[in-house]
Amino acid sequence: MAEKQQNMLWGGRFTGGLDPLMVAYNESIYFDQILHKQDILGSIAFARANFNAGILTKEEFTKIETGLLAVEAEWAAGKFVIQPGIDEDIHTANERRLGEIIGKDVAGKLHTGRSRNEQIATDMRLWLRDELHKIEGFLVSFLKVTAQRAETEVDYVMPGYTHLQRAQPIRWSHWMMSYGLAFASDLERLREVIKRVNRSPLGCGALAGNPFGIDRQAMATELGFDSLLWNSMGGVADRDFVAEFLQWGSMLMQHISRWAEDLIIYSTAEFGFVRLADAYSTGSSLMPQKKNPDSLELLRGKSGRAFGHMAGFMMTLKGLPSTYNKDLQESVEPMLDHVKTVGDSIQIAEGVLATLATQPEKMRAALDPFMLATDLADYLVRKGVPFRETHHISGQCVALSEATGTPMNELTYEQLAGVDPRFEKDIAQVFNYDKSVEMRSAKGGTSKACVLEQVAVLKSMLE
């Protein structure tokens, strides 16, 4: 074991062997190997900076660059062979293999002035930046489907709910846009997160900076970073970009979970507003009639997983002293799993919505005249009666309907006038669901023009 330690980047200081369990406990290669391309690109940029600073000759840089590209080709082809107990992380693995390809004398110069502390921070930021751009694309695609369906199905009227009780008539598209605009806010937040992820720590050293005068800005530009992290101590220790991403993903998954919950309810036989496509449903092993909304239930369940990533990592961070601590290795796995969980969830949500069958006749059948009680109150408001009084009068009409067993829209003019003489014969026009939704015409309301305006706002946010 002591011999193996000599092959590690830090092995010179140690003479005793490591506990085999500690070797495995310490290794990160089996999950951080996903960063192989980013580690290679960062190493090439660092080698170029060392060449420009006079640390490497042109020949040495060319050998290192050529060798690193050969190592990456092995990763890409699935031919890279990890050496257990030696390749403790992706940085060690790549440098070890580079030495085998071009010789240790030249390969050993690559790490001049560099620390794995800055390496892993650079690799993670490069990888996460690219993955967040993919997630941004998934979210934009999902929102385009939302906007398209909201436009196409804008004439469908359904009950709106508060406390899961029927409240007022709304447009089905108004419901879609309530979540669409929440997801659009998530998109705005994601774009802000990407800006803070895309900052370079390369050149920060272990904590105190680089002693060879390398050009950090040139490396950042080569790697596509927008800016630098300006403090070397903070640069190697900063995992706020991971925490912020996990917080962002948790917010998005909360929205997806609530969206899924509504659709689970709407797809039940008791509601029947929508039917899920077979591609996003499963059956029962016992009851042949069942069609279960497993896609939506998994979306709802995965939100708990996402919250766990965030809460767990925040607890890891909260007590750490400054600069790098090995605890920060715990930032990689939740980041990787969060990217997959969130990315897959957005794509599943889009698939569900794109293939969803709406049943507008069921939506309309669920409307209830009691849902127009507020419209009844508003009728008297327009005749100059204070709303607090009209609210009480409308409540009396509801009570009369219940007491007589007569639907409120079937109460006679005489019955309504008996509740309040200010009702006139045109009161019958109030009991119209389509008119009710069109009356909500202030910006943000459920009238057709308002909903289409919301769609336009959403589309503008996608650009």
Structure tokens at 293: 């909304």
Rounded distance between C-alpha atoms, residue 382 and residue 430, angstroms: 12
Distances (CA, A) of 118 to 91, 122, 196, 221, 356: 11, 6, 16, 16, 47
Q: Could you give phi then psi for residue 57, rounded to 5 degrees?
A: -80, 165
User: Is-catalytic flag, 163?
Assistant: yes
* Active-site annotation holder among 28, 91, 111, 163: 163
**Does the annotation count 284 as an active-site position?**
yes
- Tokens for 169, please give them: 């008539």
- Alpha-carbon torsion angle 330, 332, 334, 338, nearest 10: 170
Tally Cβ neighbours within 10 Å of residue 367. 17
Burial label, 45 (beta-carbon count in 10 A; 0-12, 13-18, 19+): buried
Task: Tell me which amino acid residue 28 is.
Answer: S
Nearest C-alpha neighbor of 133 from the set 202, 187, 184: 187
Of the candidates 133, 227, 284, 392, the residue annotated as catalytic is 284
Tell me the C-alpha distance between 350 and 327, whole Å: 37
DSSP character string of 23-41: HHHH--HHHHGGGHHHHHH
Torsion sign over Cα 253, 256, 262, 263: negative
Contact yes or no for 316/330 (Cβ under 8 A)? yes
Catalytic (active-site) positions: 163, 284
